[in-house]
Amino acid sequence: GEIASIGLAESLKGLGFEMGRMKTGTPPRLRASSIDFSNLERQDSDPDPTPFSYTTKKLRDERLPSYFTATTEETHSIIRENIMQSPLYSVAIRGVSARYCPSLEDKVMRFQDKGHHPVVLEFEGLGTEEIYSKGLGNSLPLEIQEKLVHSVPGLEEAEIMRAAYAIEYDFVQPTQLKQTFETKSVKGLYLAGQTNGTSGYEEAAAQGMWAGINAALSVQKRDPFILDRSEAYMGVLVDDLVTRGVDEPYRMFTSRAEYRLILREDNATMRLMGKGYELGLISKDHYSDLKEKIRQIEAGIRDLSSRKIYPVAETNGILEKMKTAPIKNPVSLYQLLKRPEVTYDGLKAFDGWEEIKDRDIRRQIEIESKYEGYIKRQKESVEKFRTMEEKGIPPGIDYYQIPSLSSELQKKLTAVCPASFGQAQRIPGMTQAALTAVLIHAKKMELEKRDASGEN
């Protein structure tokens, strides 16, 4: 296996960081040729998938299916009989586990009324026989793992290529980090990933990029790169970590974002590519392509807005076929597109209009139309949010000098050291009265500073 990071953890402890322990694990990898897929439920890939990268114009034609099976009573009996051989239950591993992906031992012991638990078999890639057995994650010895794997339908003869395991690891309480992920106590030290108490591949990748960008900007003596909660899911993740801290492995969910209607995957490039270009991470050609895409979207919306349909028999006949209500007054195609029954492609039924060929642009126009009112209201909320974010808190403020604050809030504010009143507002336990006390103290500091410098 890989070398343990004990030395790194000891080094961080030696620097005085507040640390904790968490645990994670992974399921066994099985050999595909040893699995009997014949009686398992098959789920094929999307026939026309959307690429992750905007630079990908064509995907490979090969698609790999996933298969569904489930544990059995025999599986559960094997686990119950051998539960004390699991480090997760013998207290060899004490860390806090991820709430949303419990081990198979946890599922069997905590939900004893369940006769089975789902297992999803996924190919690791086109060039490998390895199958990822989602749902079979455990920390039992290999010989026990083989028995429990063989008790699952379709896996009676399955060969384990790599055993499942669980690990315990140290993390640094992320309230000790600035919004750039530089540690507050050690200049030039940036932390990212599981070290910050998070769980998940995408969460780690986003943090690595965030910390890396800011480390490079610091060396170049440039302003830091910060996204707020209204600009990106990365902004939500970073703000949650450095403001609220963690007491269990942190996962990013859409429900954590107040402005998720704006933070959509379909508009991610339009929201963020400009910032990437300013940082030198995006080429001029790619940025030009983006600007052209935005131009086409805006032109497409203008075009639909300018094209009217009228309440005549032919028009209402088309609308009836679309299973939507007839019109009584002239409306634009853009207004019509707001209806849930009407799609962009369906507008082809009206003469004299030529659709845009690019699928992404068509989709963007349809989303902007159908959610226009909701998006407008959310943007108004963002403006109010930014008003608080722009009210900065003076650095070096001594919260223990504000007697009206509770000792708990004095401690939390000192630990987090919020950069703005918006961030202070999100600290757990913060009240409006406490926020007002901080605001009054900050204004008092500002006046004293002006008096000392002789300003009017």
- The domain segmentation of the chain, as residue ranges, is 6-170, 173-257, 284-379, 391-453
pLDDT of 7: 85
Query: How confident is the model at residue 432, as a pLDDT?
Result: 85
- How much is the pTM? 0.86
Which residues of the chain carry a pLDDT beneath 70? 1-2, 90-98, 454-456
Domain 391-453 carries which CATH code?
1.10.150.570
Q: What is the pLDDT of residues 110-143, one digit of tens each?
A: 898 999 999 999 999 999 999 999 999 999 999 9
User: CATH number of the domain at 284-379, please?
Assistant: 1.10.10.1800
Question: Helix or strand or coil: residue 66?
Answer: strand
Provide the 8-state DSSP code for 312: S
Q: What confidence score (pLDDT) does residue 50 get?
A: 82
Cα 398–404–405 angle (5° rounding)?
A: 60
Give the model's pLDDT for residue 100. Answer: 72
d(CA 203, CA 191): 13
Q: At which residue do the structure tokens 């060039």 appear? A: 127
Output the pLDDT for position 96.
66
Cross-strand bridge partners of residue 30: 131, 160
- At residue 297, the pLDDT reads 95
Is 6-170 assigned to CATH 3.40.250.10? Answer: no
What is the structure's pLDDT at 358?
A: 87
pLDDT in tens, 75-102: 999 999 999 998 877 665 566 666 778 8
Which pLDDT does position 90 carry in this prediction?
A: 65
Q: What is the DSSP string of 361-407?
A: HHHHHHHHHHTHHHHHHHHHHHHHHHHHHTSBPPTT--GGG-TTS-H
Per-residue pLDDT tens over the stretch 316-346:
999 999 999 999 999 999 999 999 999 999 9
Dist. CA 122–CA 297, nearest whole Å: 37
